[in-house]
Amino acid sequence: MNQAKQTIVLIHGLWMTPRSWDLFREFYEGRGYRVFAPAWPRLNGEVEDIRRDASDLAGLGITEVVDHYEKFIQSLNEPPILIGHSFGGLIVQILLDRGLGTAGVAIDSATPKGIWKLPFSAIKSVNPVLSNPFNYNHTVTLTFKQFKYAFANTISETEARSAYEQNAIPGPGRPIFQVALANFNPWAATKVNYRNHRRSPLLLIAGAQDHLVPAVQNRINYKKYAHSKAITDYKEFPDRSHWIIGQEGWQEVAEYAIAWVQNHTQSETHSRLEWH
């Protein structure tokens, strides 16, 4: 890389830990970036530890997660590039709206408030949470069958099993309810200002075969920013599931994301909150 080292913050999604970013982290560090992949608040220990006891995550909501990442970002010595997957993508959108980050990439992003389209596969994927209202303040574990459908529908049984064993943890139910009910809540934690002209550039990436967050939702998410003067782009990768950051071809996604960021940050200065 022919420039000073830059910082990337990777933000993981629900039912995942920072381990889900291992491939991307190694890829970007190999390119000379300084990479951080901090865990969600209250998420302590490795995957195996959390599976044994996930009680600390019960009741964790989106605002607490976003505030946690904002505090981390403000502790850095430069505004970072933000890359998020799934709920991490939603968190990236909210952080950009707050004026943080030099650019953002939201991969298979959970939907902000204002998106009504709800395909059957998305409903089926989150049904293990929404089927029981008591899950709002509890954690929910996906079975392998549920994970395979929601995360890994385009890859083999063996590959999906490996992804599940290496990465899947119980997740708090509250964020799913917050997304599902956002359009009925004027104070929704998932709300972003789609007309924010001052935010940094945003790239939305979708997997064409994603069951959990179908590409149509990402396309609508992208179109919601149509009236903002801030840079917003959309890229859809064919034959990709929600496990787009780990399945075969993940390098193409990682490369496209960082190339896009560099293309939209090298020649322009973007308004953001005063750093420190």
pLDDT digits (tens, 9 = 90+) for 121-135: 999 999 999 999 999
The CA distance from 33 to 38, in Å, is 16
The CA distance from 276 to 79, in Å, is 10
The CA distance from 66 to 275, in Å, is 18
Q: Which residues are registered as beta bridge partners of 85? A: 107
Judge contact between 81 and 106, C-beta under 8 A. Answer: no
Q: Give the sign of the dihedral formed by CA 142, CA 234, CA 225, CA 230.
A: positive
Judge contact between 43 and 15, C-beta under 8 A. Answer: no
The CA distance from 1 to 174, in Å, is 41
Judge contact between 96 and 73, C-beta under 8 A. Answer: no
State residue 2's pLDDT score: 37
- Average pLDDT in the 77-83 region? 96
State residue 3's pLDDT score: 47
Whole-number average pLDDT of the chain: 95
State residue 53's pLDDT score: 97
Q: What is the pTM of this model?
A: 0.95
Tokens in use for 72? Answer: 């981390």
Q: Which of 190, 196, 240, 226 is nearest to 89 (CA)?
A: 190
State residue 266's pLDDT score: 72
Report all structural domains of the chain as residue ranges with CATH numbers, in order of start: 7-265 (3.40.50.1820)
- Average pLDDT in the 5-14 region? 94
State residue 5's pLDDT score: 65
